Structures are given as structure tokens and as C-alpha cells.
Structure 1
Amino acid sequence: MPLLLLLAPTLAQAADFDGSKLAAWWGIPFAGVLLSIAILPLVSPHFWHHHYGKIVAAWALVFFVPFAAMFGIGVALDGFLHALVAEYIPFILLVGSLYVIAGGIFLRGNLHGSPALNTGILAVGSVLASIMGTTGASMLLIRPLIRANDNRKSTAHVVVFFVFTVSNVGGSLTPLGDPPLFLGFLKGVDFFWTMQHIFPETLFIVGSLLVIFYFLDSWHYRKEGVTRVDPTPDSPTIGFEGKINFLLLAGVVGLVLLSGLWNSGIAFSVAGADVTWASLVRDIGLLVLAIVSMQFAPMAPREQNQFNWAPIAEVAKLFAAIFLTIIPVIAMLRAGVDGPFGAIVSAVTGSDGQPIPAMYFWATGVLSSFLDNAPTYLVFFNTAGGEAQALMTTYASTLAAISAGAVFMGANTYIGNAPNLMVKAIAEDRGVKMPSFFGYMGWSVLFLVPLFIVMTWIWF
């Protein structure tokens, strides 16, 4: 990587590749990555578990080699470096630092996973998601939630609704909550704009999911009865260990906020991606905070959490392939009506040339379910005009639809948002039998999609 960065200035540059030149079949490698994630764990779990990194790397090469042969190695490396510097490195540093720091916080004491307690944890996590990010809130609470329910037989539904609420919908109120909103903040959207404009929608979705979950969990609880002794011993007090990590989490929030507020100059450019001093300070700071947590915070809480690197390693490998193979897909979407996906772009605009909020909500949401929701947000942000001031005022309903679609529908699949896969990996590591890719989508279609339809009818 350092060698490629040094060579970058000598490469042929293609900062904004024209997606209209591409045929739709360039999306096959990306589809291959998604289908591999969806099918292989179901049909051959042992093979997938041991070789998933090689499989997605193969799909990445299926895209990169023909692309380099057709458009030149310079253009291919340019796209690779741009994705690496502008998207993947900031993404993995933020997700990784939150995973490491939150993994050093242990909730001492044995909670008993009743429907009321589980619903309360989901409610608290939904609030925290907009304060410390969906990844931070997920990593902080998923282990205590699993441990609280370790004497129950049916717990997959608990984790699924945790992904719905804490890992996704709860992060919709501030730019700290979810990457799409942070990108909007960087583009000029006011920090509290989403809280002011999609709070009712968020309250409706979170409230509805919590009520549904309470009755569903109560049914499972009554059906099981007290069948096993709780394997986690009771303790006289409940509290947190590794409290220094709360300060480090506050540092993460501060760094992310600083990078959006600090109007710094450009430190350097790599393949068309401008690295500002603010983003450089943020990324280096995130790395330092993670190292401080590992080296100087108490190790006992991490050991009690059974902390290991497998979940974040899985996210790093899978999303590396996703960020690379998604390059032509995003380019084709950015080509607008002139690109292979012109029908999607045309569908969000009425015959009078005005945006249709309902179509923006569903187009952004459906694509965010399978593509990375951050660049998808940017595509439709730009499709709607790309002017933050106009979108916050004249086209406020359109920006609200884009914001809600990107954040809410990231819960539709395991790959819609990074915490989804991390929570799934942690749960499976703790012995929870999680639904398959399509099995999880069955849950989202059953419980989320009807709520999205009602929300469309009421607000969009």
C-alpha cells in the first residue's frame, strides 16, 4: 500500500470515471460477492468459514483484472486507490476503533433476559446509537444482551431485533449515528437537521419495533418457561468495568465531530481523493485511541467479554471486496439517466421535473440494503440537486426521504450496514444460531417492510 501511494502521482488519473461507458454486466462481480455471502454460509458453512476471504478476493480479481485490461492499469489502480483512501480506510478505522474500545467495557453482574429487560436494552441502545454511532452502541450492548439470555433456547429473534433497532434505525438522528448522515453533514447539512425532520419517523419505527419485539419475546418466554439454570452466576452488584474506555469512546465521537466542523486545508491528494488535515487527524486519532485501549486499558474486561478479532476481521475482508467491486456500480448510478441504471434515476423524478420523496425513500433504501449506504446516499443527494441549503429548505421532504431510506433500510440485509455483520459474527461466536442471509431478509420483509409502507403513506 505505501508503494502504491508513492506511485499514485505517476498513474493515469481518472478521478470521476464515466459510468455511462460501462455495461450493466460490470456489476456481476459485486453481485457475486453478495450471492457468496448469502448462499455459501447456508450450503457449505464449514467451507465458507475457512475460505471466505479467498472467495471474496477472487471476486475482486474478477472485476479488477478485466477492468485493468480494458481501461488500463492506471485507471484501475486509480479507482482502487480512490476507494481505499476516500472510503475504505476511514470506514475500517472508525468501525475498528469502536469495536476495540467497546470490547474493553464489561457490564458486571448477571442480568436476566426477561421481555421487559430485553426491550429496555433495545430502547437504550437505540438512543445511544445516535450519540456514539450504531457500531459503538452495538459493540457496547450486544455481549451483555447475549449473556443476559444465555439460559434461553430461542434467542435469535432477540439479536435480529437488536440489529433492526440499535445497529440501524436508532442511528438516524445525528451525523454521529450513521455514515450516510455524516457524509451529508460534510456536504453542508446542519448537525441537528435530521433530528428536527425525521424524528417522528424514527420514533414511529423504533416504537413499533419495540412493541412488536416485546410481544414476540413474551410469547417465546412463556413458551419456554424456566427450562435451564442460568449459566451466568448471580453477582451482588451491577456496574461497568473498563470505564476508561468510555473516555476513549468520547474521544472517538469528538474526533468524528471535529472532522466535520474543522474547515482545514488539503494535506495531500491520492488518485483524486483529497485527504484533508481534519480527516488525517481524525483517522490517526482513531488509530491511537484503539491502541491506547488495547495497551493501557485493563485486560480483564476484554477477557470477560471473550474479545477476539474474528468479527472485525470478517467485516474488514468482506467490505474490502465490497468497496472494490462496487466501484462500477456506483459509477453507473452516478451516470444518471445516461447510464445503464438510468431507469432507477428517472423513477425518482416526476414529469414536472420535481423530485418524488416516496420514490427517493424506496430507491435509496432498496439500494442501501445491498450497496454501501454511504455512497448510495451521496448518489441520490446529488441526483436531488446536491445543494445542501436547497435540500434543507425547499426540498426538505426529499432530503428526509433520502436520509431515512439510507439509514432505516440498512437493516434489511446483513450487508446493509457494517454493524449488522459484526453483531451476527459475535452472536454466532457465542453459540446463537442466527438466520441465514435470506432467512434474515425474511425477518426484515415480515417486520420492517410493512412499517416502511405505512411510513411512506404518512410522511412521504
Structure 2
Amino acid sequence: MRRLFSYEISLCSLNALAAIVVTALAILFPEHALAAEEHGLPGASMSLWWALPFAGLLLSIATGPLLFQHVWEHYYGKISALWAALVIVPLALAFGTPSATEAVLHALLTEYMSFIILLFALFTISGGILVAGNIHGTPLVNAGLLLVGALLASVVGTTGASMILIRPIIRANDNRPFNAHVVVFFIFLVSNIGGSLTPLGDPPLFVGFLRGVDFFWTTTNLYRETLFVGGVVLAVFLIVDIILHRREAGAPKIKDPTPDTKIRVRGLPNIPLLAGVIGAILLSATWKPGVSFSIQGVTLELQNLVRDAIILALAFISLGVSRKEYREANGFNWGPIAEVAKLFAGIFICIVPVVAILRAGHDGALAPLVALVTSPQGAPNDLAYFWLTGALSSFLDNAPTYLVFFELAGGDPRHLMTELASTLAAISAGAVFMGANTYVGNAPNFMVYAIARQRGVNMPSFFGYMLWSGLVLIPTFLVAGFLFFG
């Protein structure tokens, strides 16, 4: 009780600090209170102080589960809301309530709403599919499972594929003394690299789709990079697993807690529902009725509203047709998607002023970052985009990182898909691939880690995992970077 009381006092103190900051802004910048521009926020006149809530929220997400896990589990929603308040209130004071409202609602209604509806649907529908039974985890079998999972990731998302296959692959290897590496490579391939071919695969690519990137653009422009990186990592896994499998031959045998049985896929009605999600997204990309609605200055197009409604309906149909015991066998619960929903609401709000500054380009406070990814001739440096996007995606969530560099490259999807196609490919590849570098780079990473630990797998620590990624992934990315973006 004393610890809980101290946490409440700490949160009250943070709220008090927020109030002090807001008051100080109102005193220091009274001339900006009614100085809002008619269209959007004046990014050229905004300082880097506006990026602090965004940086603070991402830092909280990266360190919270590791440094103050108990506080984070109980208060992550309030922490996210606090950082969002440190954006909304100062924006209203500095640029007027109408401009602040329009900017925040635009982010929530045109991007966050569709983003979280898709994740909710993929999480719900894939949670009703159960892979029952067990097979023996030999190197070839494991490599096959990883390949299937990587391919599945671009169809049902990295989260969906990870949740469907992590338990079967753990069961297949639960009688082996060396099995942690299987889960590590599972995170590399299924939870990250495999999701690079469609907007369904990984959250940053769906953010790009919401910004106007064509659905199949990533398929046609990233398949070479994906085949190379995925192929190299899978080959390294096969070599490592063969070596460890041979070492196990002389070790004492472990009784298999889950003997081999016939593999069966349960919850088959959910498969056409997943196809329906894909169909709804393709529908919104091709059907343009020219009908729109306005809410507080934010325009919502009919095709996007219909898409979201269909996807949401498919998720609820899944809940109705899926058997409860299948979801229980999958360990299905609403905790992960609730955490994602609360955290990403804060992220999409906190990134609003950052996007405004980035849109100012060389005239904004982030001009040094613009110069870093731009050659002396003014052309984008694709290799710099690949590594900077990837480096930040390794420790921060890769969806907002993608959005930052998408805007840094100009933010015009038509221009990025044509004249700057290699730049957009570098940003997309960096965000998706390098989310695998740490446990916190992508949402499924930590979920897989937690499930494996719960099932008795001796998983490496945070820095132990980074040793694996440093030895396997970084050399692969170095070669891929120079090969495709150098």
C-alpha cells in the first residue's frame, strides 16, 4: 500500500509539473496565443522544445517495461495521457484552440483510428486460429516453420503471425537443451523481417499506406531487400541450429513434455475473415466515390470509413464464430492490444508538432537532421535514411520513427513512390528490418520474449539479445545497405 501511495504521489507531482509548464508557456509566449495559421501549425517558427513530449513518451516506452516494470504495468495509460497533455494544452495556448484541435483531430481521425482498428482486427482474428499438435524440432523443420512464419507475417501482420506460431515452435523444441536461439531467430524473421512486403505486415508500412502509399508498392519495391536479408538470416539460423543440434546428440536426453502428435489447424472460419480484411483495404485503395465528411475541419473520406467499418465488423464476427477453448489455448487476452491502443494514441498526438517542424524542412528547427540525410547537391542520402531510421527503430517504436523520416523526406507519397522510390524503400526497410535489433524495437518482440520465458525457455537478457542481433543482423544490414542503398 505504501508503494502504491508513493506511485500516486509521483503521478500527482508529474501532473503538477505539467500544469507549471503550461502556465509558463502561456506567460512566455502570450503573443502566439492567437497567432495560429489558417492551415496547419507554423512549423518554421516552432522550436525543438515542442519535440520533448514525443521524445519523452518514446523514452518511457523503451525503458518503462525494463526499469520500472511494476509502475509501467499499472500506469502506462496515464503516462501516455500525460505526455499527450503536454502537447495539446501548450498547442492550444500558443496557437489557439481551433488550430490545436484541428491538428490533433487530424492525427487521431485520419491515421490513429484506422491504424488501431487494423491492429485490433488482426490481433482478434489471428487469436482465434489455433495450431494444435506437435512435431519434432529438427533444424530443417525449424527453418521451415520460420519460413512459413515470415511469409505469413506479411498477410496477418507480424503480431498475428507471432501469436499464431510462437507456441507451436516452442513445443517443437521443448525437449532440446539448446532452444533459446530458435526463439531469437523467430523474433528476427517472423516478428520483424517477414512483415516487410505489405501494409498488413508491420505497423510502419500501414502508416505509410494511410499517408497515401499504394498497397502493393512495398511488395514490388522491397522484395529484393526482403529476400536478401531474410535469406541470409535464415541461412545463418540453419547453420547455428545444425551445430547446436549435433552438440545435443551427446548430451543427456530430456523427456519430451509435448510428444509428437498430428498437426491440426483449428478456428478455420477465421481464415476467410483475414481475407476479408485484405479485401477491405484493397477496396479503399481502388474505390474513390468522391464523398467526404468534415469534423472540426478534418476531412474523412467515405471509402476509408467503409473500410474501417468492415474491418471492425470482421473482428467482432471472429469473436462470435471462434471457440473459446481455442483462444484460451493461445493464451489470448486483451492486455497487449489495450496497451498498444493507449500508447499509440499518445504517440500520434505527441508527433503532431514534430511533423509540423519536419514539414518546414531547412527552415525548421530540425534542419541539421535534414542536412544529415541530404547530400551536398540536395539529393536524399538513401544509406543515411536506412541507417538513421533503423537505428531509432531499434530502440523506439518503428511506426512513429517511420513517420518522422517519411515527413523528413518530404511527406508527399506520390513523389516518394516515383522520383524518390529508393528513399522510401530505405526508410521502409530500415524501420521494418531493424525493429529486430532489440526487444523493444517492435511490439511483438517483447510479447514473444514474455511467452517464451513463461514456457520455460532460457531467453537471453536485453543485452544478451543485442549480442545476437549484433553478430547476425548488423553485418547483414551493412551488406544490404551498401548493396541496395549505397
Question: Is this a same-fold pair by TM over 0.5?
Answer: yes
Offset at 1:442? 4.9
Matched, 1:404 2:423: no
8 A Cα contact 1:412 1:441, kept in partner: yes
The corresponding residue for 1:122 is 146
Partner of 2:266: 241
C-alpha separation in 2, matches of 1:185 and 1:59? 26
CA distance in 1 between partners of 2:157 and 2:350 (Å)? 26
Match of 2:361 in 1: 336
- Give yes or no for contact 2:164–2:330 (8 Å, CA) kept in 1: no
Identify the range of structure 1 (172-181 vs 430-439) with the bigger mean alpha-carbon deviation: 430-439
User: Is residue 61–residue 396 contact of structure 2 (8 Å, CA) maintained in 1?
Assistant: no
> Following TM superposition, by how much is the alpha carbon of 1:443 offset from its aligned partner in structure 2, in angstroms?
4.2
Which of 308, 323, 332 in structure 2 is aligned with 1:283?
A: 308
Of residues 101-110 and 430-439 in structure 1, the stretch that sits farther from structure 2 once superposed is 430-439
Tell me the SS of whatever aligns to 2:265: strand
1:112 to 133, 136, 139: 136
The equivalent position to 1:208 in structure 2, one of 227, 232, 235, is 232
Q: TM-score, normalised by structure 1?
A: 0.84
- The SS at the match of 1:91 is helix
Distance (whole Å) between structure 1 residues aligned to residue 169 and residue 162 of structure 2: 10
Residue 103 of structure 1: how far off its partner (Å): 0.9
SS in 2 for 1:238: strand
What residue in structure 2 maps to residue 3 of structure 1? Answer: none
1:346: Cα distance to partner? 1.9
Cα deviation, residue 379, structure 1: 5.4
Indicate the larger mover: 326-335 or 145-154. 145-154
Displacement of 1:206 after TM fit? 0.3
Cα displacement string for residues 195-245 of structure 1 (whole angstroms, at most 9, x for unaligned residues): 34332221111011112223334455556645543333443x211111111
Checking the alignment, whether the CA contact within 8 Å between 1:82 and 1:270 is kept in structure 2 is no
Query: Structure 1 residue aligned with 2:83, among 56, 59, 69?
Result: 59
Query: Match of 1:158, SS?
Result: helix
Which amino acid counterpart does residue 402 of structure 1 have in structure 2? I
- Provide the rounded CA distance (Å) in 1 between the counterparts of 2:419 and 2:57: 39
Q: Which residue does the alignment assign to 1:7?
A: none
Aligned residue for 1:22? 46
* Equivalent runs, 1:25-424 vs 2, <5 Å: 25-152=49-176, 155-182=179-206, 184=208, 191-221=215-245, 225=251, 228-235=254-261, 237-369=262-394, 373-374=398-399, 376-377=401-402, 380-381=405-406, 384=409, 391-424=416-449
Moved more, 103-112 or 391-400: 391-400
Does the 8 Å contact 2:40/2:99 carry over to 1? Answer: no
Deviation of 1:104 after TM superposition, in Å, equals 0.8
Structure 1 residues 426 and 267, CA gap change in structure 2 (3 angstroms): farther
Q: Is the 8 Å Cα contact of residues 126 and 156 (structure 2) preserved in structure 1?
A: no
Residue 293 of structure 2 aligns to a residue whose secondary structure is strand
Query: Kindly tell me: are residues 60 and 372 of structure 1, through their superposed partners in 2, closer, same or farther at Cα, counting changes over 3 Å?
Result: same
CA displacement, residues 126-153 of structure 1 (integer Å, 9 cap, x when unaligned): 1222233333323322232233334456
Q: CA contact under 8 A between 1:41 and 1:436: conserved in structure 2?
A: no
Amino acid at match of 2:373: V
User: TM-score normalised to the size of structure 2?
Assistant: 0.80
| Counterpart in the other structure of 1:4 | none
Q: 1:450 is matched by which residue type in structure 2?
A: P
Alpha-carbon spacing, 1:282–1:262, altered in 2? closer, same or farther (3 Å): same
8 Å contact kept, 1:40–1:48: yes
After superposition, give the CA deviation of every residue in 1:94-125 in whole Å (9 maximum; x if it has no partner).
11111111111111211333333222211111
Of stretches 74-83 and 152-161 in structure 1, the one that deviates more from structure 2 is 152-161
Equivalent residues of 1:337, 1:345 under 8 A apart: yes
* Corresponding residue SS for 2:134: coil
Shift of 1:286: 1.6
Deviates more, 1:275-284 or 1:178-187: 178-187
The SS at the match of 2:288 is: coil
Q: Aligned residue for 1:6?
A: none
Deviations 1:272-322 (A, max 9, x none): 543222211121112111111112222221122121122222222222222
Query: Post-superposition shift, 1:193?
Result: 4.1
**Cα pair distance change 1:353/1:436, threshold 3 Å:** same
2:108 counterpart letter in structure 1: L
2:424, 2:218 → 1: CA distance? Answer: 9
Matched residues in 1 for 2:321 and 2:310: separation? 16
Alignment partners' CA distance in 2, 1:211 and 1:58: 45
**Deviation (angstroms), 1:384:** 4.6
Per the TM alignment, residue 368 of structure 1 is displaced from its structure 2 partner at its CA by 4.3
Distance 1:67 1:436 in 2: 40
Moved more, 289-298 or 422-431: 422-431
AA of the residue aligned to 2:224: P
- Worse overlay, 366-375 or 96-105: 366-375
**3-state SS of 1:108 partner:** strand
- Secondary structure of 1:109's counterpart equals strand
| Structure 1 residues 44 and 387: CA distance shift in structure 2, 3 A | closer
Q: Secondary structure at the match of 2:183?
A: helix
Q: What RMSD in Å do the two structures reach over aligned CA positions? A: 3.2
CA distance in 2, matches of 1:322, 1:140: 27
CA offsets 1:399-435 (integer angstroms, 9 cap, x no match): 3323322332333445544444544454455555656
Counterparts of 2:456 and 2:299, CA distance in 1? 44
Identical positions, percent: 57
Report the count of equivalent residues: 448
8 Å CA contact 2:402–2:428 kept in 1: the answer is yes
Q: CA deviation at 1:398?
A: 3.0
CA distance in 1, matches of 2:114, 2:403: 16
How far 1:380 moved relative to its partner? 4.6
Distance 1:371 1:262, change over 3 A: farther
Letter in 1 for 2:378: G
CA distance in 1, matches of 2:52, 2:411: 29
- Counterpart Cα distance in 2 of 1:55 and 1:263: 39
What is the distance in 2 between the residues matched to 1:273 and 1:157?
A: 48
